[in-house]
Amino acid sequence: MYRVILVDDERLIIRGLSSVVPWQKLGCEVVGTAYDGSTGLRLIRELQPDIVLTDIRMPNMDGLTMLAALHSEFPRMQTSVLTAYRDFDYAREAIHLGVCRYLLKPSDMNELTEAIRQMTARLDALPPAREEEPDASSSAAGNYVVQMALEYMKAHAAEPHLSLNDVAEHVYVSQWHLSKLLNRETGQSFFDLLGGMRIELAKQLLANPALRVHEVAEQTGYADVAHFSKSFKKFAGCTPGEYRNRSAGR
């Protein structure tokens, strides 16, 4: 029996799916339900189901990033979307990220059972886990997660306490998985990527002669000038003062 988790912020939908769909006849059992995305993700990580049927328009949830996170972290997991959100480009991107079926509410029983059969057929065709290699959709999903992570890091690079955990929570993956994805996609660690972003921001600020070096350090997330200067030299090959002087002499 394949294990299923249902995620939807409409309780009536969850009750209907749980009771009306002939899960046992389809070779499945519902092992968990959730009424919001964050609880759903927590449950999915805890139970690691074979199949997830989820909405993607829930409060405080970026549906595409959530789907990408699931497929990059659990490449064997099969997902289908059941939503009222009618957008062709969005649906196409969801399929690109590994979603099996994109179903529109209200969806009839034939569509639902067909989607479930398609997901169980995919599961039946999978090789043993030890032989599995990441497929194109899980690679695309990982790349999508990394792009969302990098965008978030750039937007928040100046925050002094920005951590790997903060970014991982934003893109719905574990710290360990995000660290692995960043290394795979960029060849750099989280801390090197963040340091590089902060130094690029510092270079822009150093162009303003009214700002002192310690002020630039504070505005780029560094607790003290010594740490800032050491990091600046690592990434830029010179001290902040030397960089400013060179830039002024151009």
pLDDT given at position 56: 87
* Domain-embedded: residue 9: yes
Domain check: are 209 and 117 in the same one? no
Domain check: are 122 and 202 in the same one? no
What is the rounded distance in angstroms from the CA atom of residue 45 to the CA atom of residue 177? 12
203: CATH? 1.10.10.60
Domain check: are 198 and 124 in the same one? no
Number of domains in the chain: 2
Q: β-strands 28-34, 51-54: how paired?
A: unpaired
Domain check: are 112 and 11 in the same one? yes
Give me the mean pLDDT over the 93-98 stretch: 91
What is the rounded distance in angstroms from the CA atom of residue 17 to the CA atom of residue 5? 11
3-state DSSP assignment of residue 133:
coil
pLDDT given at position 148: 96
Domain check: are 6 and 124 in the same one? yes
Burial 184-193 (b: 16+ CB within 10 A, else e): ebeeeebeeb
Residue with token string 């991982």: 168
Helices of type H across 54-135: 63-73, 88-96, 109-125
Query: pLDDT digits over 148-203, tens only?
Result: 999 999 999 999 999 999 999 999 999 999 999 999 999 999 999 999 999 999 99
Contact 120, 112 (CB under 8 A): no
Last residue of a domain, one of 131, 158, 184: 131
What is the rounded distance in angstroms from the CA atom of residue 43 to the CA atom of residue 48? 8
* Domain-embedded: residue 240: yes
pLDDT given at position 101: 93
Domain check: are 127 and 8 in the same one? yes
Taking the CA of residue 115 as centre, how many other CA atoms within 13 Å lie in the half-sphere pointing to its CB? 24
Estimate to the nearest angstrom the gap between the alpha carbon of 50 and the chain centroid: 19
Cβ neighbour number for residue 223 with a 10 Å cutoff: 11
Last residue of a domain, one of 86, 116, 131: 131
* Domain-embedded: residue 157: no
* Domain-embedded: residue 159: no
The residue type found at 160 is: P
What is the rounded distance in angstroms from the CA atom of residue 114 to the CA atom of residue 103? 11
Summary mean pLDDT of the chain: 91
- Res. 242 pLDDT band, cuts 50 70 90: very high
Last residue of a domain, one of 131, 154, 182: 131
| H or E segment and range at residue 33 | strand 28-34
40: CATH? 3.40.50.2300
Domain check: are 16 and 127 in the same one? yes
What is the rounded distance in angstroms from the CA atom of residue 144 to the CA atom of residue 65? 7
Cβ neighbour number for residue 118 with a 10 Å cutoff: 14
* Domain-embedded: residue 165: no
* Domain-embedded: residue 118: yes
* Domain-embedded: residue 116: yes
- Percentage with pLDDT > 90 across the chain: 75
- Percentage with pLDDT > 70 across the chain: 96
pTM, two decimal places: 0.86
The residue type found at 125 is: A
Cβ neighbour number for residue 173 with a 10 Å cutoff: 27
What range does the domain containing 77 cover?
2-131
Domain check: are 114 and 222 in the same one? no
Structure tokens at 78: 């099969």
What is the rounded distance in angstroms from the CA atom of residue 88 to the CA atom of residue 108? 20
Domain check: are 127 and 7 in the same one? yes
Q: Which of 34-38, 143-147, 150-154, 178-182 has the lowest mean pLDDT?
A: 34-38
Query: pLDDT digits over 77-93, tens only?
Result: 999 999 888 888 989 99
* Domain-embedded: residue 154: no
Domain check: are 10 and 127 in the same one? yes
